[in-house]
Amino acid sequence: MGKEDLVSNNPLRALGLEKEGGATGRRVGLIMARAGLGKTAILVQIAMDSMLRDNNVLHVAIGEGVEKTRAWYDDILDLMNQEKKVENFQQLVDEVMKNRMIMTFKESAFSRPRLEERLNDLILQDIFKPNCLVIDGFDFEDAKREDLEDIKDLLDAMSMQAWFSAVSHRNDDRVSPTGVPAPCNEIDDLFDTVVLLKPEQEMIQLDIIRNNGETVEDTGGLALDPTTMMVKKG
């Protein structure tokens, strides 16, 4: 299996990930789940899909180090190779990793101004210009609506899309009218795509609440295999 096959056969095609850049591509996505269910695994697979399509991805890891974040990509790539038997695998790895950069922040240090400053440093020095941001570890518990609106303004100005992860809690029953749980229940309208991870029997189901700004009736039958953390058609 080659690079194009990995893209076309990716179950995450159901999310319309190819819609990047331009007016239709500047969307903001959200992956929500309780702690430890696989949010980072989903974000990395979204990032990998974009990288395989020759887009530049900036993975913003909040509260995690570079090595742990890099290990996620190494593990996902190895699993892809085991499942798909990728042709010229190491050559593919070397090629797509050029499309990724990891940026870390301490939990107390992340803000739109600091993110913008570091992005501008990369772009102005012609080091790296991302098409897509993956923001893992953002503190939705203490964030205000204005904080997210501020980041969305930055995304629009730089013509990028972004994917966030958020932790939900079993003992918090607050939920938005569309079914998005706390702590994102009062800001769910800021996200164009919202995916909830729900453990069911042997798999973790991907419940797509909204996709590309539209309410979803058919969730696409996607699931996360908890043993490999790979997305599959359920």
Checking if the pLDDT of 228 tops 80, the result is: yes
Residue ranges and CATH numbers for the domains of the chain are: 3-173 (3.40.50.300)
Phi, psi of 73 (to 5 degrees): -65, -45
Q: What is the pLDDT of residue 7?
A: 86
Can you tell me the mean pLDDT for 95-102?
A: 96
Residue positions counted in the chain: 234
**Percent of the chain topping pLDDT 70:** 94
| Mean confidence (pLDDT) of the chain | 90
Q: For the segment 175-203, what is each residue's pLDDT rounded down to a tens digit?
A: 999 999 999 999 999 999 999 999 988 89
Q: What pLDDT was estimated at residue 220?
A: 65
Decide the pairing of beta strands 161-167 and 193-200.
unpaired
Rounded Cα–Cα distance for residues 165 and 30 (Å): 6
Task: Check residue 217 and give its pLDDT.
Answer: 66
Q: How far apart are CA 210 and CA 230, in angstroms?
A: 21
Residue pLDDT, tens place only, 16-46: 776 544 344 568 999 999 999 999 999 999 9
Calculate the alpha carbon distances from 125 to 91, 120, 161, 186 in Å. 27, 8, 22, 38
Please, which residues bridge with residue 163 across strands?
29, 134
